[in-house]
Amino acid sequence: MNKEFYKLKTSIIKALSNPIRLMIVDCLRDGEKSVTQLIELLDEEQSNISKSLGILKSNGLIKDRKEGLNVFYSLKICCINQFFCCLDSMIEENIKYQQELINSSTKKG
Amino acid sequence: MNKEFYKLKTSIIKALSNPIRLMIVDCLRDGEKSVTQLIELLDEEQSNISKSLGILKSNGLIKDRKEGLNVFYSLKICCINQFFCCLDSMIEENIKYQQELINSSTKKG
DNA sequence: ACACTATATGATAAAATTGCAATATAGTCA
DNA sequence: TGACTATATTGCAATTTTATCATATAGTGT
């Protein structure tokens, strides 16, 4: 149990554990976007988007490319599709489980 | 951009974004463990472990089975191996990238 | 019933994260 | 140079998360 190593891992997970940042990553799955585009797509404050991009970048999840005034961000991680796939199936399972709980409780009561 | 849906997703990710909780999940990859076993393996306070298990369970990541005084926990998610695999490759890439930065800066300076 | 063990829960202070507003930086164009 | 646009950074109050201590619950054996 090397706790330092787990801290390193959780810092990456933490970067994804915020709705705005997760939306950004999801958004970038279909190609690079400028900060302005992300602000529009996500309908969030400019400073929030900028800060979120900084956190994602410093954790190695995205990379940037400057072009004049604009900065374009894109994904740096290959396994992101698997990741979202996994997340979706977890949510699906959770919903199914909660449904079962509701069903069994209504049968009893 | 359905923000509520992303909140749902991030609550699952958040459950994994803490060193103790991630250690627990990793620990359970080789089979179910009792709370006492986890306390010993992780060398953490009993209440921390218990609370962590509660968070993981309520997010549908683990399940429990009672046997006398003991409660055994096990993984409920199938894609956890992929998840850790992905995490490891991300960390590896980050370290590689940081190495490159160090190398290129020492060449210049 | 009592003592004992395993686990869960509650209260709470400290630490980390969030979101907004303001400000700074830096590239472009006149 | 000055005005303008895109992006980054800073300050800070509000919220959330964490860790610890104390207490509660619940099963077991006497």
The protein residue nearest nucleotide C19, judged by CA to C1', is: A48
Q: Is B69 helix (H, G, I), strand (E, B) or coil?
A: coil
Mean local confidence (pLDDT), B22-39: 97
Calculate the CA A13 to chain-centre distance.
9
Return d(Cα B93, Cα B88) in angstroms, integer.
Answer: 9
**Each residue of A59-93: pLDDT tens digit?**
999 999 999 999 999 999 878 888 888 888 888 88
> What 8-state DSSP symbol labels residue A28?
G
pLDDT > 50? residue A13: yes
Say if A25 is an interface residue toward chain B (CB within 8 Å): no
pLDDT of residue B100: 81
Both tokens of B105, joined, read 């800066």
Closest nucleotide to A47, Cα to C1':
D8
Segment B26-44 shows an average pLDDT of: 97
Q: Do A13 and B8 touch (CB under 8 A)?
A: no
For the record, the structure tokens of B7 come out as: 């909140």
Angstrom distance, B47 CA to C9 C1': 9
Confidence (pTM): 0.91
CA angle B90, B95, B99 (to 5 degrees): 145
**Around Cβ B9, how many Cβ atoms within 10 Å?**
21
B94 CA to C7 C1' in angstroms comes to 39
